[in-house]
Amino acid sequence: MAGQMKLGAFLMPTGHHIAAWRHPNAVADAGVNVGHMIELAQIAERGLFDLIFFEDAAGVREARVELAAQTSRSIGFEPISLLAALAANTHTIGLVATASTSYNEPYALARAFATLDLVSDGRAGWNLVTSASEIEAANFGAQGLRAHGDRYVRAKEFAEVVSRLWEPSSRFGVVEHQGENFAVRQGLGIPASPQGAPVMVQAGSSDVGRDLAARTADVVFVATQTLKDAKSFYDDVKARTERAGRRPEAIKILPGVSPVVGETRAEAQEKFDELQALIPDEVGLALLASYLSTNALDGLPLDGPLPDIKVGEGMQSRQQLVIDQSRRDGLSIRQVAQHFAGARGHWRLVGTASDVADEMEAWFLGGGCDGFNVLAAYFPGELTSFVDRVIPELQRRGLFRTAYEGATLRANLGIAPA
C-alpha cells in the first residue's frame, strides 16, 4: 500500500447517528429535500472526496411503524434517481448508489447505471448488495428471506451478467446469456462513458461475500472496530483478489468511520454526548434487534448482558461484529444498543481534527485500509466539520489529495478504465 488515502462520503438524510433527526440543527424534511442533498454533495466535492455513496432498502426500515417514525433512516429518495439530480449539480465527485441483486433484474439495473455513468461523464458506481431483510422480501412477493448462500449464488450470476452488459463489445451486440437465474439476449444500446463502465462496489464481509468482492469489486466497504480486524480483512481480501487473477491494488478497501470533531476533545465529546442523549431506549433496542435478526431481546433487562445469539440469515458479518464487541468490552444490552446506534457497528472517533487524523493515519499506514468511507453523525454539521478540519490536517500530512487527479471516478480512485 502506498500513496494517498481514498475517501467516500456516505450520505444519509439527517445523519448516521440514529437520533440525528432530533438534533437541533437537523433539516426536518431532509429525506425528500433535493436541495439539502445537493448541498451535501457539494460539501463533499469541496472536500475532494472520491465519491458520495447512498445505501438503499426496498421497504420501511422497521416493522413497527411507531419506531420507523423515530429514526433517521425511514424516509428517502430512490438513490439512482437522486444521483441523476446530483450529477447535474456537481462536477468531479463520484456517484455511487446501492441496488440489490435480490429484487432487481440485471438488464434493467445495468441500463440504469450505464445511463447515470454516461450523463455524469464517467462518475457512476454500483454498490452491489444482497437484501437481508424480511421486510424487503415481503414487498416483492417472496416467500420469506432467501438463505444467505442462495442470495450469493444469485448475486454472482447477476454481477457476471451486468459486467458483460457493460463491456464495449456487448453494448450494441448480442449477449445470449442463459443461466440458472437470468436470461439476457441483447446489449444495452448505450455507449460507454469516459471511464468505460461504472465502478463496482461491494460491502459483504462473509466468506462468500469476500469471494464475490475479490472476483468483481473495484471498491469494498467494510465495518471493523480495530486495526487488527481491519488488517485481517484487508490482507484476506487482497489475497483472494490475487488468487482470482487480479492485481491486489485493483481493489480499494474502505472501512467505515464515523467522526465527531471539535476544536477541543471536550467540545467533541460534548457534541457526541448530546447526540447519545437523544436516543430513546426503544429505538436503540429496535435497531439492534433488527440487525441481529432476533426477538431474543424482548423483555430482557436492558442493563443485563446480551444473551447468546446465533448468527442468522441476515447481515451475518455485522451480527458477528456486534456479538464480538459486546463480549470483548463487557457491554450490557443498553450499552450495546447505544453504541450501535451511534454508527451501526462502524468505527467511531470523537476528538480534535488531529486526533481523528492520527487514528486514520495509523490504520492507513498500518495496512488496514486504502482509505475510508466517512459516516458523518449528522448533516450537514459533521460533514462540514470533517471537510473544514480533518481534510486540511490529512493534506498537511501528505495523506490526501489537494486537487482531483482526473475527471472520472476510476481516474480519481486510481483504478484502470473498464
Cβ atoms 127, 295 nearer than 8 A = no
Beta bridge partners of 259: 349
Cα dist from 278 to 89, 179, 322, whole Å:
33, 50, 21
Q: Tell me, which fold does domain 6-264+347-413 have in CATH?
A: TIM Barrel (3.20.20)
Most confident of 75-89, 297-311, 322-336: 75-89
Least confident range from 58-67, 228-237, 407-416: namely 58-67
Q: What is the pLDDT of residue 72?
A: 54
pLDDT at 1 over 50: no
Confidence of residue 71 (pLDDT cuts 50, 70, 90): low
pLDDT in tens, 234-270: 999 999 999 999 999 999 999 999 999 999 999 999 9
pTM value surpassing 0.75: yes
Q: What is the pLDDT of residue 281?
A: 76
C-alpha cell at 30: 431532509
The mean per-residue pLDDT over the stretch 230-234 comes to 97
Omega before residue 307 within 30° of 0, cis: no
Q: What is the pLDDT of residue 172?
A: 94
- Give the span between the Cα atoms of 325 and 381, in whole angstroms: 29
Confidence of residue 274 (pLDDT cuts 50, 70, 90): very high
Omega before residue 301 within 30° of 0, cis: no
Q: What is the pLDDT of residue 411?
A: 98
Instruction: Name the more confident of 73 and 295.
Output: 295
Q: What is the pLDDT of residue 69?
A: 57
Compute the mean pLDDT over every residue in the chain, rounded to the nearest whole number: 89
Cβ atoms 291, 315 nearer than 8 A = yes
Cβ atoms 114, 71 nearer than 8 A = no
Helices (H), 252-308: 265-276, 281-292
- Give the span between the Cα atoms of 178 and 153, in whole angstroms: 15
Beta strands in 238-384 (DSSP E): 252-261, 347-351, 371-374
pLDDT in tens, 115-144: 999 999 999 999 999 877 777 777 887 667
Most confident of 2-6, 25-29, 223-227, 357-361: 357-361
Q: What is the pLDDT of residue 313?
A: 55
pLDDT at 63 over 80: no
Cβ atoms 367, 235 nearer than 8 A = yes
The mean per-residue pLDDT over the stretch 52-75 comes to 68
- Give the span between the Cα atoms of 339 and 247, in whole angstroms: 37
Every domain of the chain and the residues it spans: 6-264+347-413, 268-342
pLDDT in tens, 311-342: 655 555 667 776 777 777 777 877 777 777 77
Q: What is the pLDDT of residue 314?
A: 53
Cβ atoms 400, 394 nearer than 8 A = yes
